[in-house]
Structure 1
Amino acid sequence: MADEAQGKRCAAAARPCAWSQEAVDHFLRAQRIRARDAAAVRWFHAANSKARAGEAHLFFKSTGDVHMIEADVLLRGGKGGNGEPIMAHPPETDSDNTLQEWLKEIVSTNKGIKLDFKSLEAVRPSLQLLEDVKQHLRRPVWINADILPGPNGKNSVVDAEGFLDTVTSFFPDVTLSLGWTTGWHPDKHNKGYNWMMVKEMAQICSALPQRVTFPVRAALVRQSISELCWLMQQSDRYSLTVWTGKEDVYSVEDLLYIRENFDKSRVYYDILEPQNSEFKKAIGVE
């Protein structure tokens, strides 16, 4: 009955059902992973420039190597710019790849996508472009923004109300990826996500009907297990996406500790090498 109701909602919204499914369930039903284990979902990160997209060409064309493609969207000229949506990550303000070109390439693949926004100004024009290709994207689509300040993070966040109102006005069933700005310092004690942070996020998300994943920084999760477990207990629509900065120091043991404390179907791992391969080997996931 739940699947039937979901199908009716998808049909009524004239959007691909995969948008309202948990990503791990989509790829399991498509027989692209072997078990209901979110760690089996493989990522390609920061596929922004055409050169970077070129590196990912084999991944784009393959049915097995990668499941989700993550990329960053700005307006040309940076925050406050009035140009077209481009694929770039601050401090960059220009790119040789536009969102329109990027989506055209993605449509020819079977990859799910995660679009990461650093400014509210870029959201509406980007979603208008996504609207044009929505019927060709019958796979998971996540829309991401950091809407709250987090551990060691900056206060410059994407306005939560404006972001959520804009996204849900276009796509009420898309998966939202809602995070905190964070920092990590090698020569300091790095505090984790505290109770105020997770409770504020829970309050924002309590009225949302769609799936929400919370991107959390790998080096900050172990010291935040109690808080993040509580957050995940607030709804079965919630998941975590563990990510890492290039200079962060964390261990495979930290990742295994995360895995031991959460439902394995509800934690995705978008992490860098060599920890990614070592972690997958340790848990027996290809």
Structure 2
Amino acid sequence: MRNSREPFPMPAVPRSFKKYILFQIVGISLIIYIWYIINGGFIPKFLVPRLPFLDVGPDVGCLVFFNKDGDASKVRWAREVNSREAVKAAMKDDKVDMIAADVILRGHGTTSQTLVPVMARPPKTNSDITLSDWLQEIKFGSKGIKLHFHSIESVEISLQILKDFNELNPMKYPVWIHADVLQGPHGGPTVIDLQRFVKTQKRLFPRCTLSLGWTTATQTDMRQSAYTWEMVWDMLDMVQEWDFENQLLVFQARLSLTHNSVPQLKWLADNTGASLMVWNADGDAVINEDIMHLAYRFSLEKIYFDLGHPELQLHLDRHRYYSRTKLDHFALKRDEVMFKHDMWLKMGFHRQKNSILASTEAIILASPLVYIITKSKYLPTSEIYIQGRIRFFNRNNREAEDYRTGLDIYLRATKYDSFEEIVGIRCFIGVGGEVEVTGSNLPEKIEKFRNTARVTPTSSNCYRFKIVDEKYRVTIAVQPLHDCTTLESVEEEVEMVPLVKVEIPSRLTSNEQRPFILKMDDVKRQGLIDEISVKHKL
């Protein structure tokens, strides 16, 4: 008799049936692939703005609307579309995705200025098409639009027109609203009142992509210029003050000014979640390596390019996915020395707003309530050293205190769960060039030790340092830097001469592994660390 616990034998599946199933799977997969290629996605492009469940409106993202495979550099722009002829041509051009135009009041800046917004860019004061007529030209198309405002007087009138137009003709395509709201490299004072602009935008046309930029101007040698850390920090403060959390946000930067600005712009984007739009001004001297550096640092979906130049665009299209092979020497060198956030841990009250501002490019320690420690621990040995670059900022306009205002770097820390009681060896670099090595909260049985020196600070408020813990002795080298902004200022392999040498008490020597700790000593300065690494001598 058959054992009831044994499973019944399953009938064999005919081989012809298996082939049938395989052919069905292959056929369906091929149909899906062809559908995706033809329509540019699973949802046909022409249906995207018409699907009510997607709630598509003027705040729809370009990558969603245009189906660009997550690559913002594929979005194509028509710039300065400020006439009837230009807007008609742009609407017919299948290669154009976004139409960019400028808005002023007719008679801008003259005694005959009116309250009618027209499409023109200063110094022009008039156009053959008003904003209202311009919107009528684009309402039946599938292009996105970007409006650049050049006067605060034109903003409220224009956004009211935009609001009324949207209510009658729902804008199911991307709408960007742009203004230069801060003073930038070589730029003049802003003509857009920031508070008035933001309040008006939030009140009249909140559903859009908000594009913000800095005023700029042309100089003889733009390669020495940059969007400075102060400029991007001001932009961060502004964004946080106005709470754009639920708004698509883009920052706009001029390509010829980005040679020395990639770390700053990436830091800003990382701390706001915004994207970057890089535009090229006609006549600016640009090198291809700058385009590649931007393409390399920013992820595909986070950087747009409006280059307005066929050769630059061709170079970008060819090398966008292989940009690292096109970087110059200093950009590659920065890869080796820049701050690597995945090697550090945050400690203290880092949830306090702006107390710590980290990025893949740099970290800002803005308060002594926070500090960072290495994830790995190290033995005291002459074969291992920590080196980096620190730049000090005085955002609160406070007087510095000698041997107090600066950066603390702790070695052999045995207790570091409280920012007030870090126990170990403290190496200090002061704003005024002070250098000190001493004990920190050590037991009374350990004899006290201290050694100091001073270097002459520079106007950059920037120092490079190297610290070696040799078990029985600690040495620290500090070098003031005149240039802490240009790409070429990245660290080269130059031997630094020790400035301070301190013999360590025998009771403090240890064979235990300990982390390195970085912390600001007081609130009178903020510290930017954009180069920091722990290295092993070969």
Is 1:71 equivalent to 2:71 in the alignment? no
Which whole-Å deviations, capped at 9, do the CAs of 1:184-218 have from their partners, x for residues lacking one?
A: 22346541100111011111111223121011001
- Per the alignment, residue 154 of structure 2 pairs with 122
Amino acid at match of 1:235: T
Please give the alpha-carbon distance, in whole angstroms, between the structure 1 residues aligned to 2:290 and 2:179. 25
- Structure 1: gaps spanning 5 or more residues: 1-14
1:262 pairs with 290, 295, 298, which one? 298
> 1:9 matched to which residue of 2?
none
Mapping for residues 86-235 of structure 1, pairs under 5 Å: 86-134=118-166, 135-187=169-221, 189-206=223-240, 207-209=243-245, 210-235=247-272
> Is contact 1:150–1:197 with CA below 8 Å preserved after alignment?
yes
Could you list the per-position Cα deviations for residues 230-264 of structure 1 after superposition, in whole angstroms to 9, with x for gaps in the alignment?
A: 1011122x010000110111122211110101111
Contact kept, 8 Å, 1:184 with 1:190, in 2: the verdict is no
After superposition, the Cα gap between the structure-2 partners of 1:122 and 1:266, relative to the gap in structure 1 and judged at 3 Å, is same
Deviation readout 1:91-136 (Å, 9 max, x if unpaired) = 0001101111100001121111100001011011111211122143
State the TM-score, normalized to the length of structure 2.
0.47
**Aligned residue pairs: how many?**
261
Do the aligned partners of residues 39 and 76 (structure 1) sit closer, same or farther apart at CA in structure 2, a change above 3 Å counting?
A: same
Tell me if 1:36 matches 2:75. Answer: no
Shift of 1:26: 2.4
Structure 1 residue 54, shift from structure 2 partner? 4.2
Q: Distance in 2 between matches of 1:187 and 1:228?
A: 20
Secondary structure of the 2:145 match is: strand
Judged with a 3 Å threshold, the aligned counterparts in structure 2 of structure 1 residues 161 and 260 are, in CA distance, closer, same or farther, namely: same
The answer for unaligned runs of 5 or more in structure 2 is 1-53, 323-538
8 Å contact from structure 1 (residues 73, 118) kept in 2: yes
Contact conserved, 1:152 with 1:190, CA < 8 A, in 2? no
In structure 1, the residue matched to 2:503 is none
Name the larger-Rg structure: 2
- For the pair 1:52 / 2:86, whether they are aligned, the reply is yes
Moved more, 85-94 or 273-282: 273-282
Q: Could you tell me whether the CA contact under 8 Å between 2:223 and 2:259 is conserved in 1?
A: no
Question: Which residue type is aligned with residue 240 of structure 1?
Answer: L
Counterpart CA distance in 2 for 1:21 and 1:55 is: 24
What's the TM-score, normalizing by structure 1? 0.86
Matched, 1:277 2:314: yes
Q: Is 1:23 matched with 2:57?
A: no
String of CA shifts for 1:23-65, please: whole Å, max 9, x gaps.
Answer: 222222xxxx3x1000011111110012322442422xx3xx1
Structure 1 position 22, deviation (Å): 2.6
- The one-letter code matched in structure 1 to 2:232 is V
User: Which amino acid is the alignment partner of residue 266 of structure 2?
Assistant: C
Counting strand residues as a fraction of each chain, which structure ranks higher? 2
Give distance in 1, aligned partners of 2:91 and 2:170: 19
Distance 1:50 1:114, change over 3 A: same
The 3-state SS of whatever aligns with 2:316 is helix
Q: Tell me: CA distance 1:16–1:102, structure 2 relative to 1, closer, same or farther (3 Å).
A: farther
Q: Structure 1 188/129 Cα, relative in aligned 2: closer, same or farther at 3 Å?
A: closer
Q: Identity percentage over the alignment? A: 36
Q: Is the partner of 1:283 in helix, strand or coil?
A: helix
CA distance 1:188–1:143, shift in 2 (3 Å):
closer
CA distance in 1, matches of 2:173, 2:182: 28
Counterpart residue identity of residue 205, structure 1: V
Distance 1:46 1:98 in 2: 14
CA distance 1:174–1:16, shift in 2 (3 Å): farther
Q: What residue is the counterpart of 2:117 in the other structure? A: 85
Match of 1:71, SS state, is strand
Q: Which has the higher contact order (CA 8 A, sep 6+)?
A: 1
Residues 91, 141 of structure 2: 8 Å contact kept: no
